[in-house]
A and B are shown apart, each in its own frame.
Chain A
Amino acid sequence: DADVTQTPRNRITKTGKRIMLECSQTKGHDRMYWYRQDPGLGLRLIYYSFDVKDINKGEISDGYSVSRQAQAKFSLSLESAIPNQTALYFCATSPSENTGELFFGEGSRLTVL
Chain B
Amino acid sequence: GQNIDQPTEMTATEGAIVQINCTYQTSGFNGLFWYQQHAGEAPTFLSYNVLDGLEEKGRFSSFLSRSKGYSYLLLKELQMKDSASYLCAVRGRGSTLGRLYFGRGTQLTVWP
Contact = CB atoms under 8 A, between A and B. Distances in A.
Interface in A89-105: 90, 94, 98-105
Contacts of B8: 40
Contact of B104 (A42, A50, A102, A104): A42
Interface stretch (B43-51, B57-65, B70-78): B43-51
A94 B45 CA distance: 12
Contact of B98 (A44, A100, A103, A107): A100
Nearest to B8: A40
A98 B48 CA distance: 11
A100 B33 contact: yes
A31 interface: yes
Contact of A42 (B33, B99, B105): B105
A45 interface: yes
Contacts of B99: 45, 48, 58
B60 to A, nearest CB: 15
B24 to A, nearest CB: 13
A89 B44 CA distance: 15
Nearest to A45: B99
Interface string A40-81: 111111001010000000110000000000000000000000
Given A42-B87, A48-B99, A50-B98, A102 B45 contact: yes
A10 to B, nearest CB: 11
B69 to A, nearest CB: 17
A42 B91 contact: no
A106 interface: yes
B48 A104 contact: no
12 contacts: A41-B104, A42-B104, A45-B99, A45-B100, A99-B48, A99-B50, A100-B31, A100-B48, A102-B45, A103-B45, A105-B42, A107-B41
